[in-house]
Amino acid sequence: MSINNKIIKEEDNWLNEHGQPSYEYLQQLVSDGSVESLEKLRSIATDLDVEFEQNTSAQMLADLISSSSVDDDPQVVS
């Protein structure tokens, strides 16, 4: 692995763990299906102020988190 690829991987990991998770990362958590992964999704959702119910599925949490990240992008109004 080249130094640039290693740096990019480290940056992706940091973003996944600190507030801007990639869709791929969220889907890995969904696919894992463990209680720990569901708790991680809930933690991410809470950190991003995403509203959810206690019985919200892992896939729905991933979708809500993903859409909240897109909504944060500034939009140009003409």
Q: Would 30 be classed as within a structural domain?
A: yes
- Which of these, 25, 24, 66, 15, lies nearest to 45 by C-alpha position? 66
Q: What pLDDT band is residue 14 in, cutting at 50, 70 and 90?
A: low
Q: Which two tokens stand for residue 67?
A: 């859409």
Question: Mean pLDDT, to the nearest integer, of 20-46?
Answer: 92
Q: Would 73 be classed as within a structural domain?
A: no
Is a pLDDT exceeding 80 seen at residue 76?
no
49: alpha, beta or left, given left = phi > 0 and alpha = psi -120 to 50?
A: left
Reported pTM? 0.70
Q: Would 48 be classed as within a structural domain?
A: yes
Q: Would 78 be classed as within a structural domain?
A: no
Q: Which two tokens stand for residue 54?
A: 């206690």
Q: Would 44 be classed as within a structural domain?
A: yes
The residue range of the domain holding 17 is 3-68
Q: Would 25 be classed as within a structural domain?
A: yes
Q: What pLDDT was estimated at residue 13?
A: 58
Structural domain count of the chain? 1
